[in-house]
Amino acid sequence: MLSDQLIVRDLGLLPYEPTWLRMQAFTNERDADAVDEIWSLQHEPVFTQGQAGKQEHLLNPGDIPVVQVDRGGQVTYHGPGQAIVYLMLNLKRKKVGVRELVTIMEDAVVDTLNDFQVKAYAKPDAPGVYVDDRKIASLGLRVRRGCSFHGLALNLAMDLEPFLRINPCGYAGMEMTQLGMLVEDLDQAQASQCLLNHLISKLGYSEVTRKTTLD
């Protein structure tokens, strides 16, 4: 069944804007027979400002580009050492609502961190995942014609300084953390794979094809 099939693309380090445009194109052009896809990657440094984003939350972006995007949420930072997962899913076919998908994403991150003996939690009033009141993962989705795109970002082992140039997700003074500060000798590839495995399991895909390009 199509609802059981998934393509996972492990894409490495990519610039933000071309990837975003490919996500949009995939979502706009997909038909009822298109197989769902999850893209796993990292981004070159960029601030992205969601549809609810306010200019005052960009404190001092400096030399890092700012891109206005079509996901929900405020402003966040992406950079090397951060696991990005984009979910291009036919939610109607999967019979998954948006709120349910957000919960699945948060639970997958919590379970991933638990694999590394790190206790994390989600907040009902502030989407994302937290460790000791510090944010470790951010979420932002867009749904078009019953299909999702955009996704989540989990901080693994990155330069956190750029988060000081913004109010992360619109919260002044929000402290950020990352798994590499909580775990010795973190294997980023292992952490990314754990996250994918939890997402695939929670979403109920049984036929998974893995690719390393967008072609």
Q: How do the domains of the chain map onto residue ranges?
A: 2-211
Q: What are phi and psi of 41, to 5 degrees?
A: -160, 180
What is the pTM (predicted TM-score) of this model?
A: 0.96
3-state secondary structure of 40: strand
Whether 194 is a known active-site residue: answer no
- Residues 145-173: tens digit of each pLDDT: 999 999 999 999 999 999 999 988 788 88
- Residues 99-110: tens digit of each pLDDT: 999 999 999 999
Mean pLDDT in the chain? 95
Residue 76 counted as an annotated binding residue: yes
- Residues 12-69: tens digit of each pLDDT: 999 999 999 999 999 999 999 999 999 999 999 999 998 877 888 899 999 999 999 9
Show Cβ contacts of residue 74 under 8 Å, excluding neighbours closer than 6 positions. 49, 50, 52, 53, 54, 57, 167, 168, 169, 170
d(CA 141, CA 26): 15
Residue 140 counted as an annotated binding residue: yes
3-state secondary structure of 191: helix
- Which CATH superfamily includes the segment(s) 2-211? Bira Bifunctional Protein; Domain 2 (3.30.930.10)
Q: Which of 184, 192, 200, 202 is nearest to 7 (CA)?
A: 200
Question: What is the side-by-side strand order in the sheet with 82-88?
Answer: 121-123, 126-131, 134-144, 147-155, 82-88, 36-43, 5-14, 207-211
Q: Which of 169, 179, 195, 199 is catalytic?
A: 169
Residue 204 counted as an annotated binding residue: no
